[in-house]
Amino acid sequence: MKVATVRAQVGLLFHNDFEEFVTLTPQPHQVAALTATLDDVVAWSRALAPLRA
């Protein structure tokens, strides 16, 4: 398998963390974990960009 892993993770629930099931509105205690997760995704995206070209 060719997989890029993201170690950070955050649990989000549609009925709690999304307004109208569309707009992400995380709870204050989730912001740090969500930021770390998205930072990892962005880093992997940049690192793997040459392979997508």
pLDDT in tens, 9-51: 999 999 999 999 999 999 999 999 999 999 999 999 999 899 8
Taking phi over 0 as left and psi of -120 to 50 as alpha, with beta for the rest, 9 belongs to: beta
- pLDDT at residue 2 greater than cutoff 80: no
Residue in the structure block whose two tokens are 């060719």: 2
| Predicted pLDDT of residue 1 | 66
Structure tokens, 52: 């997508």
Q: What is the pLDDT of residue 42?
A: 94
Q: What is the C-alpha separation between 7 and 37, in angstroms, rounded?
A: 8
